[in-house]
Structure 1
Amino acid sequence: MAILPITICGEPVLHTPASPVTEFDAALRKLVDDMYETTVAAPGVGLAAPQVGIGKRIFVWDYADQDVAPAQGVAINPVLLISPPQPGDPDQELEVEGCLSFPGERFALRRAERALLTAQDIDGREFQIDATGWFARIMQHEYDHLNGYLYIDRLGDFDYREAMRIKRKRKWGKPGLTWLPGQDNLEG
């Protein structure tokens, strides 16, 4: 297994819809194992293949504080159905997210309280998870990555402008920028 470099906002693969997985083979198994290792090293609660430079519809999670799925899991070729988010502004304490591809920053974002995930496992078998709460938030965040969105793309006006200011200050927003968990001292 290996810890993979994590792409930073501006890398084209992060802003492009990912392609379906068609081969369930040893290479896929290795990629998923490396994604788990990278998630733990970051540390994060989820990681999508575009975040490690792979434009495939895969994400992993590492989140034990739920009882509807294994603590570590993979979703391949997922489809996600969500309940409508509650109207209003996000709670500045309870609805704060970070992203490994916009490292070191956190912003409040309103998400749906419930998400129904249908996906394939590492062997190509279909499964479903009915997630709620923070686990539903993780599913939505990682699924967005597969569709070419970062959570900052969904922020309200004030927070979006602040995220863009940070992006300019850190000289992000261009191809070729990555960070390596365990080597670079970043967190998201």
Structure 2
Amino acid sequence: MKLPIVAYGDPVLRKKAADFEADETAELKQLIADMYETMYSARGVGLAAPQVGLSKRLFVVDASPFDDEEPELKDFKKAFVNAQIVEENGQEWNFNEGCLSIPDVREDVSRKPEVLLSYYDENMVHHQETFKGMAARIIQHEYDHIEGKLFTDKLSPLRKRLLEKRLNDISRGAVKVDYKMKFPAAKKGR
């Protein structure tokens, strides 16, 4: 089932998400399937639970659209539950990022090229794994969501000021998207 994506300005995007507890995992596989369906319908490569209004430590990633630049990403599709970044390594590099919760805004963001992540998969099997390149970048972007952070937080104060009107417009629903969204500051009854 496609879920509505919450827009910039919704308080759920600013909360540090809670872990899934052992007794909460019964619906996990369906939630993951719904998140993949939502992400694909919005043509994204990652989606975190806070973006669908659920303050839980879960995100899904499919980096296969980048397999022409990094062939090892051909079948890179994973769900990450209760993820924790153990360490980030390497020289930061810029890449133009966007976000399904902040449509029509893309900015260069600097991130480390390697991340060591501790997480559980959809079967609640624990993994500790190193990811590099574009996979690491997508994971860091989605990880920020479960920490209550957005890619716009990484921009300079001047760049944030220049984007302020566009971000407020998104929050009010004054943006065209071809996927279902919930806008926190939209006028009721529209």
> For the superposition of Structure 1 and Structure 2, which TM-score range results when normalised by the shorter chain?
0.7 to 0.9
Offset of residue 30 of structure 1: 0.8
8 Å contact kept, 2:120–2:126:
yes
Is the CA contact (8 Å cut-off) linking 2:7 and 2:170 kept in structure 1?
no
> In the superposition, relative to structure 1, how do residues 74 and 121 fare at CA in structure 2: closer, same or farther (>3 Å)?
same
CA offset at residue 163 of structure 1?
A: 2.3
Match of 1:107 in 2: 107
The answer as to whether partners of 1:24 and 1:124 remain within 8 angstroms in 2 is: no
Matched length: 174
The equivalent of 1:16 in structure 2 is: 15
Counterpart of 1:144 in structure 2 is 144
Corresponding residue SS for 1:17: coil
Distance 2:83 2:117 in 1: 7
Instruction: State the distance in 2 between where 1:108 and 1:24 align.
Output: 37
Structure 1 residue 63, shift from structure 2 partner:
1.1
Cα distance in 1 for residues equivalent to 2:178 and 2:2:
7
Instruction: Check 1:122–1:100 CA distance in 2 against 1; reply closer, same or farther (3 A cut).
Output: same
Matches of 2:55 and 2:174 in 1, distance apart? 16
Q: Deviations over 1:53-95 (max 9, x none)?
A: 0000000001123537952110000011212553xxx65xxx1
Instruction: Give the Cα–Cα distance (whole angstroms) in 2 for the partners of residues 147 and 69 of structure 1.
Output: 28
Alpha carbons 1:6, 1:53 under 8 Å: kept: yes
Q: Match of 2:186?
A: none
> Would you identify which runs of 4 or more consecutive aligned residues in structure 1 move more than 6 Å?
176-180
Instruction: Give the match for residue 135 of structure 1.
Output: 135
Equivalent in the alignment of 2:6: 7
Q: Is the 8 A contact 1:18 1:146 kept in 2?
A: yes
Instruction: Note the C-alpha offset of 1:113.
Output: 1.0
Bigger fraction of residues in helix: 2
Mapped partners of 1:164, 1:139: distance in 2: 26
Once the two structures are TM-superposed, the CA of residue 27 in structure 1 deviates from its matched residue by 1.1
One-letter code of the match for 2:84? V
C-alpha distance 79-70 of structure 1, shift in aligned 2 (>3 A): farther
Hey, what does 2:30 align to over in structure 1?
A: 30
Letter in 2 for 1:83: N
Distance 1:158 1:98 in 2: 18
CA contact (8 A) 2:114 2:131 kept: yes
1:93-126 CA-to-partner distances (Å, cap 9, x unmatched) read xx10001111111000111111111100111111
Q: 1 CA distance for matches of 2:48 and 2:55?
A: 9
Partners of 2:37 and 2:151 in 1: CA distance:
23
- Aligned-partner SS, 1:109: strand
- Normalised by the size of structure 2, how large is the TM-score? 0.82
Q: Relative contact order (C-alpha < 8 Å, sep 6+): which is higher?
A: 1
Deviation, structure 1 residue 25: 3.3
Name the TM-score, length of structure 1 as normaliser: 0.82
SS in 2 for 1:54: coil
Aligned to 1:79: 84
> Is 1:50 aligned to residue 50 of structure 2?
yes
